[in-house]
């Protein structure tokens, strides 16, 4: 698993992505569709049309890094947010996504939030 700082922003691109894209192609999606810079320290996730492959693009101190996972069986959950091209998730939701747990059906218990 990727070791991420606790304050890392994680963005899931909600549209199917061509998994032939590599660093430049995915960075182009980040700039054009997500309106963010790929080197801002965020983690960007992309899922293919069949939902069995996931790529993660992130800035690793001195360059872009790409993490790729292919499922032998089953699918990843593609989360959508009312027509938006990106959904922001947290580290717990990322762990659920990679672990095969449905994020949309999971219920979050009430917790303290600082004002």
pLDDT at site 109: 66
pLDDT at site 106: 67
More confident residue, 51 or 111: 51
Q: Report whether 68 contacts 53 (CB < 8 A).
A: yes
pLDDT at site 79: 79
Four-residue CA torsion sign, 107, 13, 92, 51: positive
Locate tokens 């699918």: which residue?
75
Task: Tell me whether residue 104 is in a domain.
Answer: no
Task: Tell me whether residue 88 is in a domain.
Answer: yes
Q: What is the pLDDT of residues 10-68, one digit of tens each?
A: 999 989 999 999 999 999 999 999 999 999 999 999 999 999 999 999 998 899 999 99
Its domain, for residue 78, covers: 10-99
Task: Tell me whether residue 115 is in a domain.
Answer: no
Structural domains counted in the chain: 1
- Cβ contacts of 4 within 8 Å, gap of 6 or more: 10, 43, 58, 91
Other CB atoms within 10 Å distance of the CB of residue 53: 17
Burial annotation 25-40 (CB, 10 A radius, 16+ → b, else e): ebbebbeeebeeebee
**pTM of the shown model:** 0.85
Q: What is the pLDDT of residues 97-109, one digit of tens each?
A: 888 887 777 666 6
Task: Tell me whether residue 39 is in a domain.
Answer: yes
């Amino acid at each position: 698993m990727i070791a991420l700082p606790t304050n890392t922003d994680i963005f899931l691109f909600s549209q199917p992505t061509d998994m032939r894209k590599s660093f430049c192609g995915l960075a182009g999606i980040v700039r054009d569709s997500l309106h963010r810079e790929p080197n801002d320290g965020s983690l960007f996730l992309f899922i293919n049309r069949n939902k069995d492959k996931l790529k993660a693009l992130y800035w690793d101190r001195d360059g872009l890094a790409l993490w790729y996972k292919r499922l032998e069986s089953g699918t990843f959950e593609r989360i959508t947010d009312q027509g938006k091209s990106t959904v922001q998730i947290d580290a717990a939701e990322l762990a659920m996504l990679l672990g095969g747990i449905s994020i949309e059906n999971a219920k979050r218990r009430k917790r303290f939030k600082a004002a």
